[in-house]
Amino acid sequence: MASPEERAQAARFSQTYIDGTAPAMRAIERHVCGCDYGGTSWTTAGQSARLRDLLALRPGVRLLDVGAGSGWPALHMVQSSGCEAVLVDLPLAGLRIAAARAARDGLAPRCGFAVADAAWLPFADGHFDAVSHSDLLCCLLSKREVLAECRRVLRPGGRMVFSVIHIPANLSPAHYRRAVDNSPEFVETNTAYPALLAETGWRLDETIDVTGDYRDCCQRQIEADAVHAAALVDLIGAEDLAARQARCRRRSQRSTTGWFGGTYSSRLEPALSRSRPGPGARRSPRLALNRPSSCGTARRVRSPARRRRPLR
Ligand SMILES: C[S@@+](CC[C@H](N)C(=O)[O-])C[C@H]1O[C@@H](n2cnc3c(N)ncnc32)[C@H](O)[C@@H]1O
């Protein structure tokens, strides 16, 4: 079950998805990420296309997108590949927006939507050909359980690709604290992602550092927020806008200095896809990381100040 902090975060995400339908927010999103789905990750349109290709999506492929929000980037991948997808998240508000977008884009027959906890996915073992998530793991505590669930619902030979904001290793204590304070609420982990993935049955194929994209997005958001400042004050209030802008400036500066991490993605494939494992054999998917990552379940260190709006 989600913790009280996670439930509070889900409520904030709900409001963010509702706010994200405002014309000013959509204009900012187009400038920042090149899309207009009301997304809350930092996945750009270019990265969405890359995700689609890494997952080898095509007609007939069944994709599960976890933490799907209001449909970005899952619906974009469905549209550009012809695949089918199930979108899962906790806030109903986001999924409603996603379902309306799917209907508008003629994708409804190939899309399903479910309110569900990523740590307790309501699907049979091996049901999906591909799994994706965008900046999900940095937004929850139960990273290990979620990775294990993703593994369970993926068929042998399937792949997972994900992005995650992480804190780089070897920071000074002061830099570590500043990085945590300017990251999503549950960014911290006491197990590095490669180890966590291995522990949950994945094999890492590739890691792609997209810190540069992340920094560029932050800089574009600073520009776009300035252009749409009046509308943003009406929408979220002057105080929240000031906090959002300050946070974005700090992220941009720190990522430029190289100590603030970007996000990783992982592509995963079961290693024994062509042969059935014998009794007791452990299926061991290979995986590839695209952006830097962090995760952890056992220990969680609270940062002193928590933001009201979790992302962007
Ligand atoms: C950064 S947002 C990304 C949303 C969307 N994929 C996008 O790119 O815009 C992370 C999402 O993870 C969802 N999330 C967090 N904890 C979750 C959980 N335990 N189960 C399912 N979704 C969760 C949040 O509700 C949020 O919508």
What pLDDT shows up at residue 27? 98
Residues 6+ apart with CB under 8 A from 33: 39, 42, 43, 44, 45, 72, 217
Break the chain down into helix, strand, coil percent, rounded to 5: 45, 15, 40
Tell me the CA–centroid distance for residue 150 and ligand 1, in Å: 14
Residues 6+ apart with CB under 8 A from 279: none
Phi and psi at 249, nearest 5°, equal -65, -45
Ligand 1 atom with least separation from CA of 142: 19
pLDDT single digits (tens) 105-116: 999 999 999 999
Task: Provide the 3-class DSSP secondary structure of residue 271.
Answer: coil
Torsion 78-81-84-85 (CA) sign? negative
Band (pLDDT 50/70/90 cuts) for residue 254 is: low
Q: Tell me which residue has its CA closest to atom 12 in ligand 1.
A: 67
Contact 49, 57 (CB under 8 A): no
Ligand 1 atom with least separation from CA of 310: 1
Query: Nearest to residue 202, comparing CAs of 264, 117, 279?
Result: 264
DSSP 73-118: THHHHHHHH--EEEEEES-HHHHHHHHHHHHHTT-GGGEEEEE--T
Number of neighbours of residue 180 by Cβ within 10 angstroms: 19
Q: What is the mean pLDDT of the chain?
A: 83
pLDDT single digits (tens) 29-69: 999 999 999 999 999 999 999 999 999 999 999 999 999 99
Distances (CA, A) of 107 to 26, 34, 81, 255, 272: 20, 20, 11, 37, 33
Least confident of 153-162, 183-192, 266-275, 283-292: 283-292
Give the CA radius of gyration of the chain: 18
Average pLDDT over residues 232-253: 91
CA distance 194 to 98: 31
Band (pLDDT 50/70/90 cuts) for residue 264 is: low
Higher pLDDT, 268 or 305: 268
Beta-ladder partners of 259: none
Task: Using the predicted structure, report yes or no on whether residue 285 has a pLDDT greater than 70.
Answer: no
Residues with CB under 6 A from ligand 1: 2, 6, 10, 13, 39-41, 43, 67-69, 72-73, 89-91, 94, 117-119, 134-136, 139-140, 311
Tell me the CA–centroid distance for residue 241 and ligand 1, in Å: 22
Residue matched to tokens 């990265």: 47
Task: Using the predicted structure, report yes or no on whether residue 300 has a pLDDT greater than 50.
Answer: no
Domains and CATH numbers, the chain: 4-271+285-289 (3.40.50.150)
User: What predicted TM-score, i.e. pTM, was given to this entire model?
Assistant: 0.85
Residue matched to tokens 């941009």: 252
Q: Tell me which residue has its CA closest to atom 14 in ligand 1.
A: 67
Query: Nearest to residue 167, comparing CAs of 185, 137, 187, 147?
Result: 187
CA distance 39 to 33: 9
